[in-house]
Amino acid sequence: MFKRFRRLRVNQAVRELSEETRVDVRDFIYPLFIKEGKNAKKEIASMPGIFQMSIDNVLIECRELKELGLNKILLFGIPEVKDSIGSGALCEHSIIAEAIREIKKIYPDMYVITDLCFCEYTDHGHCGILDLEHNSVDNDATLEIIARQALIHAKAGVDMIAPSGMMDGAIKTIREALDSEGFVNLPIMSYSTKFASAYYGPFRDAAESAPSFGDRKSYQMNPANRREALAESLEDEAQGADILMVKPALAYLDIVREIRDSSLLPLCVYNVSGEYSMLKFAANAGVIDYDKVLMETMLCFKRAGADMIISYHAKEIAQLLGKNKG
């Protein structure tokens, strides 16, 4: 009888020895939504367990994260006022610049990454300056303000910058701006392959960034395209990206594998808001074993080729990994 495969599955010990992929708390980046004001903490209805917080509460959150072994965060800002060009992101006292300074002052070891985009800051909710003639976003006008936003974060002390707006040429523009001001050691994690996905729905509640008209299909990628997905990431590598990303994650693991096999750069997946909420609401309805489905999902991201994972589940994952150790 042919028993080759079952010999290495007979008990937990031998299964551990033959395990090819592992999930580690150090793989995770936790997103935070930061709003202006004091003592604010508001749960996002479409993302149970995730909150918009003012900076004072973010500092409390950082302590909790560190206790869980999580030391990498991704910041999104929700400004008080929005306008057509996203001015709220373009001054040195922007909500994110303030947050970076306060976090780094108290938690210098917290690795702070900022999402670089304008959809949270524009009154129309698009990711840059509008080109009204074409009912779209003006690529080159947006590049100018992206570079300014990057420098504001850099000067505030950010550890890594993650441009998510999908403007052509953004990585080259940001790299040149950073280098010219002496920030040669500040890495760029590009949202290099980012699809125009309905899975971002709950995020747009969280970040108050839903476009007021149209959609993002003139700058984000078509989910139908595999070759273009690869080309997007390779282009950002050529422009100087330090880390590549695939977003969303779950339905796009073929793309993760393809990029993993075509680039030597580290690769991140963004386990997006809609993916989070699907599991949460399924768990609340009592139809899945949440902890097991969650850990299986993370393991599969890594097996597909992800080196790191941005996830709203990061705190729960850290807790589960801690339990298994003890």
Residues that bind ligand PBG (CB under 6 A): 115, 117, 119, 127, 164-165, 200, 203-204, 216, 272-273
Q: Which of 100, 117, 256, 267 binds Zn ion (CB under 5 A)?
A: 117
The verdict on 116 binding Zn ion (CB under 5 A) reads no
Closest to Zn ion by CB, 119 or 308: 119
Q: How far is CA 19 from the centre of its chain?
A: 28
Position 312, amino acid: Y
- CB nearest ligand PBG: which residue? 203
The entry of ligand PBG, Zn ion, none that residue 236 binds, CB within 5 to 8 Å by partner kind: none
The verdict on 85 binding Zn ion (CB under 5 A) reads no
The entry of Zn ion, ligand PBG, none that residue 203 binds, CB within 5 to 8 Å by partner kind: ligand PBG
Q: Which stretch binds Zn ion (CB under 5 A): 72-80, 121-129, 198-206, 230-238?
A: 121-129
Instruction: Say if residues 203 and 311 touch (Cβ distance below 8 Å).
Output: no
Please list, in sequence order, all residues whose beta carbon lies within 8 angstroms of the beta carbon of residue 273, skipping any fewer than 6 positions away: 46, 47, 199, 200, 201, 202, 203, 206, 312
Write b or e for each residue in 100-122: b if 16 or more Cβ atoms lie within 10 A of its Cβ, otherwise e: bbbbbeebeebebbbbbbbbbbb
The verdict on 207 binding Zn ion (CB under 5 A) reads no
Q: From the CB of 33, what's the least distance to Zn ion, in Å?
A: 14
188: which DSSP letter?
A: B
Q: Tell me the two tokens of residue 286.
A: 């009592």
Tokens 């994260």, located at residue:
65
Q: Which of 47, 50, 110, 119 binds Zn ion (CB under 5 A)?
A: 119
Position 141, amino acid: A
From the candidates 72, 247, 280, 302, give the one annotated as an active-site residue.
247
Q: From the CB of 178, what's the least distance to Zn ion, in Å?
A: 20
325 burial via Cβ count (<10 Å: 0-12, 13-18, 19+): exposed
Closest to ligand PBG by CB, 200 or 301: 200
Catalytic site includes residue 3: no
Size of residue set near Zn ion by CB under 5 A: 3
Catalytic site includes residue 194: yes
d(CA 317, CA 27): 11
Q: Tell me the two tokens of residue 208.
A: 């108050």
Using DSSP's 3-state secondary structure scheme, residue 208 falls into: coil
From the candidates 72, 82, 194, 280, give the one annotated as an active-site residue.
194
Q: Which stretch binds Zn ion (CB under 5 A): 37-45, 125-133, 136-144, 245-253?
A: 125-133
Q: From the CB of 163, what's the least distance to ligand PBG, in Å?
A: 9
| Interacting residues toward Zn ion by CB under 5 A | 117, 119, 127
**Residues designated as active site:** 194, 247
